[in-house]
Structure 1
């Protein structure tokens, strides 16, 4: 009953803001949906260095929420939560990028791992092992795994950023969100996104089993890295390595295919 009343109240706030331009209604919408910002910031904070404050991420995300409220069209068949989460994430990522706090050496190492992974996978016709990756990079397995942790701890390595498409308003929508909610993309974009979805799904299917499981639990079941560690019986840092490795594999695969003009 209480949920139903809340839905009626929210509908009325949307009407007052969109039809009457009521600024007080807009402020109440920001307040009502602010838990979304805390949720997104909390998930992103778990994969970032300790010096990045969750409170800062929340303030960056609020800008995305306000923008989402201003641009949302209630008559379109898209849930506001889906519409807003993408923009909250985007706002946080944009702000972190503008601060440029990711060390250049870490960025270079991530690109090198992507390049070597693509080369080995092409030669071997299967995902390379840690030992094969380490040998090709001229380092020990321990050094390779430490590199994965450094990349994980100091950059936003996320499946959300692999592919983005433009929706009807010209905003960028993450492909992952379109997999979870097909209504997140305008029908005019459907042909392009279908092809990209197929490529992403195929790339995920070709991952080693443990990496595939980490991707499924993190992005589709919304488990934290710590919770995934409990499921798999490994440490959180090991899950972080698996996640980073999986995303770098997917990036090298998808970008490599794009470069070939496929």
Structure 2
């Protein structure tokens, strides 16, 4: 494993030996050095997933993502590898879960119905839809609504963590501006998307905004957020699900508007 005490120059040299000389030992060193990142990301993503999803499977898929990140990363651009690799690891885990059909079609259908309900009602009232309004729209009881939130939690846990572009670390959540991007059409689209997401976040309830901030920006797990907010983990999961459904509805609306232009 790469010694943590090595200078940045030494670490840069390991990348050079791998990228420019094709040194397999250097690649092995990089993999061993960043393996703890796989365990960290896997542990965070395991929160809220069904019990039948094996942590070992998450780590296995995540490791493939790490290797892919090491193979594709351009160390000369001066970017933070940990950030780039985290999204590649998450993406690899998500791909593995999808291939394993980890979310039943019935749950996906429920998530889509709820997302559509938020989109329609919030467009109609120009404000955040209440739980009661969602229940009326879907013609279900509040108890059934709460149950649906619990069921779709696993379908919303990763929805904003997917990269916008294949070889970049930007996600729908971060929407970081790539100063080296030369495509004006993409930049316009990204600006609209960022504005839409910002407007969607403003429409969230105070608790939903807090959950989104702590989970995606402060990097806390759902269980840690539950302790911070003095709420049960299930309640935090529900707040997260509602927030993501609202944001997905906002982004879908923005996408439809762009396609019409």
Identify if the C-alpha distance between structure 1 residues 77 and 213 changes in structure 2 by more than 3 Å, giving closer, same or farther: same
241, 245, 253: which one aligns with 1:244: 241
Q: Are positions 1:197 and 2:194 aligned together?
A: yes
Structure 2, gaps ≥5 residues long = none
Q: Check whether the contact 1:175–1:193 (CA below 8 A) recurs between aligned residues.
A: no
The Cα of 1:61 is off from its aligned counterpart by 0.7
Q: Paired residues, what number?
A: 254
The Cα of 1:153 is off from its aligned counterpart by 3.6
**TM-score normalised by length of structure 1:** 0.89
Structure 1, gaps ≥5 residues long = none
My pick for the range that moved more, 150-159 or 133-142, is 150-159
After TM superposition, the structure 1 = structure 2 runs for residues 35-54 of structure 1, keeping only pairs within 5 Å, are: 35-54=36-55
Q: Which residue is equivalent to 1:76?
A: 77
Look up the SS of the partner of 1:113 in the other structure: helix
Give the superposed CA RMSD.
2.1
After TM superposition, the structure 1 = structure 2 runs for residues 1-262 of structure 1, keeping only pairs within 5 Å, are: 3=4, 5=6, 7-153=8-154, 156-161=157-162, 164-166=163-165, 169=167, 173-179=170-176, 182-183=177-178, 186-188=180-182, 189-260=186-257, 261=260
Q: Check whether the contact 2:161–2:173 (CA below 8 A) recurs between aligned residues.
A: yes
Separation in structure 2 between the aligned mates of residue 249 and residue 199 of structure 1, nearest angstrom: 11
Identify if the C-alpha distance between structure 1 residues 217 and 61 changes in structure 2 by more than 3 Å, giving closer, same or farther: same
My pick for the range that moved more, 16-25 or 240-249, is 16-25
Look up the SS of the partner of 2:109 in the other structure: helix
Q: Deviations over 1:192-223 (max 9, x none)?
A: 32332222122112211111111001000011
Look up the SS of the partner of 1:101 in the other structure: coil
**TM-score normalised by length of structure 2:** 0.89
Look up the SS of the partner of 1:160 in the other structure: coil
Q: Check whether the contact 1:214–1:228 (CA below 8 A) recurs between aligned residues.
A: yes
Separation in structure 2 between the aligned mates of residue 124 and residue 100 of structure 1, nearest angstrom: 36
Separation in structure 2 between the aligned mates of residue 124 and residue 203 of structure 1, nearest angstrom: 14
Separation in structure 2 between the aligned mates of residue 109 and residue 237 of structure 1, nearest angstrom: 18
Q: Check whether the contact 2:94–2:158 (CA below 8 A) recurs between aligned residues.
A: no
The Cα of 1:172 is off from its aligned counterpart by 7.6
